[in-house]
A and B are shown apart, each in its own frame.
Chain A
């Protein structure tokens, strides 16, 4: 499988690898997996409770190059965004940016899920109601 240049770039120089303290009330953690390939992805964000701006984002992914690139890109994109803005990131945006082939689309789905899961976790910590189906930002 030939990876696109952008995937290779993220794979060789992944951004924001690492972890944030899970217990920190301002940190949201999303752990998601794609059983068909055995990938697991952990994405964490530190969110300012006043401004709702994502100040820091870290990830750790065990999986293929596309999964690593998708999560690396996701952390880059969410940094500096508000929670609402981050929730509007779609897996198709990631597919386009990284030129993922159809067989690797699930990697981008995983990254989108991880963003939603991390924000959902943070909201839960702050007692914010999480809608059943996250609405697309207005």
Chain B
């Protein structure tokens, strides 16, 4: 995840929400965001800087690339949650342990094994029919799981917004962010699998 680049002029870099003049809420109106994006982009357009100094031109370029990053991130509901958590230091990578629920791990492992089998069967030129139907049902099952996770993400995102509205304390906020984090973990697992399965089935 890329954080807003620190500007060379030592001006404090604005976070993506601030760039759009928005509070750190997760629900946003897509159209309004797009409108605002177009408006801000227009302001930073090179045509408006024809007579500007070199420095001003450079700064507007930098800001416009920040704006693009900000829009791409906020426009996607999942990237938005990820970004919020990274802003709040709740999405740590590297050494930080992020465990997935054990029952999901079992399923993930088994599905990966079936994928392996399919690849081997493909290269050996053996009959793929039964494997394919097994994977197709797995694809459906994981597709449904992805839908469930996304629905839960939406509900939890609303809880986050409510918490901000009622000025909930740090403990309550962290709790919600912890849940958002778990949901994102679950989602990345399930999504990777859905993509892999679809890819293998497409080639089979």
A residues at B contact (CB < 8 Å): 31-38, 40, 42, 60, 62, 102-103, 105-106, 109, 113
Contacts and interface: CB of A to CB of B under 8 A. Distances in A.
Interface string B178-190: 0000001110110
Contacts of B189: 33, 35, 38
A111 to B, nearest CB: 13
Nearest to B106: A31
Interface in B175-204: 184-186, 188-189, 192-193
17 contacts: A31-B109, A33-B99, A33-B105, A34-B98, A35-B98, A35-B185, A36-B185, A36-B188, A38-B108, A38-B188, A40-B108, A40-B109, A62-B112, A103-B93, A106-B94, A109-B95, A109-B97
A62 B109 contact: yes
A33 B100 contact: yes
Contacts of A36: 93, 98, 185, 188
Contact of A40 (B93, B105, B185): B105
Interface in B68-108: 93-100, 102, 105-106, 108
A64 B174 CA distance: 31
A41 to B, nearest CB: 9
A32 B105 contact: yes
Nearest to B195: A38
Report, as a range, how many residues of chain B touch the other chain: 20 to 34
A67 B31 CA distance: 42
A33 B95 contact: no
Chain B, interface SS category: helix
Contacts of A113: 97
A103 B92 CA distance: 11
Interface of B: 93-100, 102, 105-106, 108-109, 112-113, 116, 184-186, 188-189, 192-193
B193 A38 contact: yes
Contacts of A40: 105, 108-109, 112
The 5 closest A-B pairs by CB, nearest first: A35-B185, A38-B192, A62-B112, A33-B100, A35-B100
A44 to B, nearest CB: 12
B99 A32 contact: yes
Contacts of B100: 33, 35
A121 to B, nearest CB: 11
Contacts of A38: 108, 188-189, 192-193
A35 B93 CA distance: 10
A102 B97 CA distance: 14
A106 B186 CA distance: 17
Nearest to B196: A38
Given A36-B185, A36-B188, A38-B192, A31 B105 contact: yes
A36 B98 CA distance: 8
A54 B90 CA distance: 38
B95 A105 contact: yes
Contacts of A102: 94
A42 B109 contact: yes
